[in-house]
Structure 1
């Protein structure tokens, strides 16, 4: 039996997100400099990505872990220079939102896309 082709699934996900999504960015803070007791934040770097913004369904919102104003963001893995983390921010239509949680969809070890919980 042949192994499943996850690279093809990733290409399909990238294509669909590009078709129905929008341009965005993963904003990563720069390394701090200066004195350890009074560091100066380094300049942030935006890494372009393609994303789709969705609302959470009412049954998913519990008011604590997922709030009514949170957004589910699907980010294409293809062409993304960095792996998003909760330390980053996601830029959607010029607005930087906090990343609460990042869940890579990675069956078989191949990252197909990222699901991000974003909070404004």
Structure 2
């Protein structure tokens, strides 16, 4: 990893923190088996994050975009883990499901995640 790569990850985090909106990243934690009750349960894990929200045009080339879909950019540096399809972002009290994501890399480390989300 070069010096430039090392500086891009914190730079991305600072820019998203400065221009972003507070939201909550919600994902289902690992499943746990209770041998006494015989039930499998999992808890939701919530993390406060900051993301930049973009509205998506419905005339998007792949035809998989609906009115109200958004692209949310999260800095990878502050996150513990990587978002996945099925996770949720709670934005202004409304839950949006992650449909897909793309990763922007700085060398061998992720710098940004761009999430396609739908309410």
Q: Same fold (TM over 0.5)?
A: yes
Q: Is it true that 1:28 corresponds to 2:31 in the alignment?
A: no
Asked if the contact 1:47/1:82 (under 8 Å) is kept, the reply is no
1:100 aligned partner: 99
Unaligned runs of 5+ in 2: none
Deviation at 1:96, TM superposition (A): 1.7
Contact 2:24 2:46 in 1 (8 A): yes
Q: Tell me the C-alpha RMSD between the 2 structures.
A: 2.4
Residues 61, 67 of structure 1: 8 Å contact kept: no
Query: Which contiguous aligned blocks of 4+ residues in structure 1 show a shift greater than 3 angstroms?
Result: 32-35
Structure 1: unaligned runs, 5 residues or longer: none
Counterpart in 2 of 1:9? 8
Q: Which residue of structure 1 lines up, in the alignment, with residue 44 of structure 2? A: 44
Deviations 1:38-88 (A, max 9, x none): x665221102211011112455265x4111210010011121112100031
User: When the two structures are superposed, what TM-score results if normalisation uses the length of structure 2?
Assistant: 0.80
- CA spacing shift, 1:59–1:107, aligned 2, 3 Å: farther
Tell me, in whole angstroms, the C-alpha distance in 2 between the residues paired with 1:103 and 1:115.
Answer: 5
**Which residue of 1 is the match for residue 86 of structure 2?**
87
Give secondary structure in 1 for the equivalent of 2:68: coil
Q: Is the 8 A contact 1:50 1:75 kept in 2?
A: yes
| In 2: Cα distance, 1:25 partner to 1:71 partner | 15
Aligned residues: 115
